[in-house]
Amino acid sequence: MLKSFGLIVVAPPPITERTIKLGIRHSADMMCYPFKVTLGNFIEEIEQGANCLIMYDSRGKCRLRHYWMLHDLILRNLGYDFKMYPLSLKNLLKLIKQFNPDLSYLTIIRKLRQSWKKLKDVEDSASYMIKEGVNIGIVGEIYTCLEPGINLNIDKKLRKFDVNVYNTVRLSDFIKASTRTSLLEKRIFKRTAARYLNGPLGGHGVENLYNVLFLCNKGIDGIIHLLPLSCMPETTIEPILDKICADFNVPLLRLMVDETNSEVNFDTRIETFAEMIKRRKK
């Protein structure tokens, strides 16, 4: 999307052990895992010549809204020279105009719509339920569910075991929720989910509750809950997800993701889960 605005983009290099180690070395121990990894991303981008950093500011209720300030502080303490730009849906147009003053607001909006359409096409072709065969749903923290470098490519691995993966966490839903354009979607499940909590939770806590209710009602065969270490909303909803899945008799596998993960252990667990679900369905 940024490239379509004529900007020179230094995308983060693929996440490696080095990226993760860099982030961990300079983050508070109990900070959530996505913060550490994105800090490592920034360091590697600066090393590649980036001098303007963009971090999404959710303006929500969780730590994500503070990431950019903390990243900025830590990177400056490390002696890096750069400019940090928090990006939110509120300042999106203004920021793009600031980066490329030659663009009119109309052009920016047109290009944003094109990017939105591309995003929807990619998501719609990647996530759907099948009638014949086994469907496994994924819920959890957005970065962990969407970044293969962090979730050890769980989507691809599960598909190798001959199951269909329905990832309920979609970037477009996140954008729609932030712009309040999805208030009517899954309304009945949202109402039920709200009864389990005493108000807003932040992150994707509430979204995951209603998505699990949605999956269970759609007859999903099994659910995987993916969460990063020390994620507040995801750990808060753990007992609620357990109860919903037990009530619907849907098997649930919870996978914590952090820097100590062993890929072999991870693979064994998802393979066992997939096989168990397949046998159960038969």
- Closer residue to ligand SF4, CB minimum distance, 135 or 144: 144
Q: Which of 57, 224, 233, 277 binds ligand SF4 (CB under 6 A)?
A: 233
- Closer residue to ligand SF4, CB minimum distance, 205 or 222: 205
Site for ligand SF4 in 188-227 (CB under 6 A): 203
Element (H, E) at 83: strand 83-87
Instruction: Give the separation between CA 118 and CA 7, rounded to whole angstroms.
Output: 19
Shortest Å distance, C-beta 227 to ligand SF4 = 8
Q: Which of 54, 231, 253, 257 binds ligand SF4 (CB under 6 A)?
A: 231
- Closer residue to ligand SF4, CB minimum distance, 45 or 141: 141
CB 112, CB 2: distance < 8 Å: no
CB 66, CB 47: distance < 8 Å: no
Q: Is 232 in the site for ligand SF4 (CB under 6 A)?
A: yes
Taking the CA atoms of the chain, what radius of gyration do you get in angstroms? 20
Shortest Å distance, C-beta 41 to ligand SF4 = 15
Q: Is 177 in the site for ligand SF4 (CB under 6 A)?
A: no
Question: In sequence order, which residues have a C-beta less than 8 Å from that of residue 204 and are 6 or more positions away?
Answer: 139, 140, 141, 142, 169, 174, 233, 234
Binding mask 44-63 for ligand SF4 (x = CB under 6 A): ------------------xx
- Closer residue to ligand SF4, CB minimum distance, 221 or 258: 258
Shortest Å distance, C-beta 121 to ligand SF4 = 27
Residue 249 backbone zone (phi > 0: left; psi -120 to 50: alpha; other: beta): left
Instruction: Give the separation between CA 256 and CA 273, rounded to whole angstroms.
Output: 15
Q: Is 34 in the site for ligand SF4 (CB under 6 A)?
A: yes
